[in-house]
Amino acid sequence: MSQYAREIAAARDEVRRLNVGLESRVVERTAELARARDRARVLLAEVNHRVANSLQMVASMVKLQANAAHDAAAKKALSEIQARISAVGLIHRRLYGADDVGLVSMDEYLSGLLDQLAASMHSEGHGMSLRYDLDPLRLSTDAGVNLGVVASEWVTNVFKYAYPDGPGEVRVRLKRIDDTRAELVVEDDGIGRPDGVPARGTGLGTRLVAAMAGTLRGSVEYVVRHPGTTGRLVFPLGQP
């Protein structure tokens, strides 16, 4: 019995030593993972910063080229390209320094994008006013870029085509419908577009909207109002 008790005590001491060593290794490994996570966050933030700066530089070069262009169609096309590049660049700028560099606060992103877009349109002589009502949804970076491009295309079209005879208003809403879906709505009280009449411009904007909606696994509808037009994109939340 004495020998058995000594063996039990020795086994217990060995287990205790093993536990102490295991706990030490777990603490060390946890610290290593935390340091790796922090390095990854810093690296991703720096990548977003560099991407934003690069896109801003490209947008500025396109703007210079647009200003130098003498052909009206070329000037218009370059200005549209600049707006699209800026929409993508702004989301990376928003991510730089954010707590979670993988998710975008859409109310902050879209408000900045829309204000920037309205200022650009006003500088070109378009006198419409812009109002927006944005829920604080958080989406992945890719989903945020897609939604920003759609909003930019629709709002730009309203500024350019909805009110040919004078000032008007464009309204933007981003709302959660339920636990699984949300919607982006852009509407105006302008001249609208009768059924069967093709879209103005090259049609690239319409194709871009359809492509972005497909990536979001969403659905797009256009509603003719009296007066005006509504563009509505319904998309699932929890985008990858």
Residue 125 region by backbone torsions, left for phi larger than 0, else alpha for psi between -120 and 50, else beta = left
The pLDDT score that the predictor gives to residue 16 is 80
Per-residue exposure over 201-218, b if at least 16 CB sit within 10 Å of its own CB, e if not? beeebbebbeebbeebeb
CA dist., res. 96 & res. 111, Å (int): 17
Q: What is the per-residue pLDDT for 38? A: 74
Whether the full predicted model's pTM is greater than 0.75, yes or no, is: no
* Per-residue pLDDT tens listing for the chain (240 residues): 888 777 787 778 777 877 777 877 887 888 888 887 777 777 776 776 777 788 778 888 888 888 888 888 888 788 878 877 877 777 777 665 556 667 888 998 899 889 888 888 887 777 789 999 999 999 988 898 889 889 988 998 898 888 887 888 999 999 999 989 999 999 999 887 655 555 555 577 788 899 989 999 999 999 888 889 999 999 998 754
Neighbouring C-beta atoms of residue 197, cutoff 10 Å = 8
pLDDT at 176: 94
Count of CA atoms in the C-beta half-sphere (13 A) of 86? 23
Instruction: Determine the pLDDT at residue 200.
Output: 58
pLDDT for residue 236: 93
Question: Residue 172 has what pLDDT?
Answer: 96
pLDDT attached to residue 161: 86
Where do we find the tokens 């105006």? 188
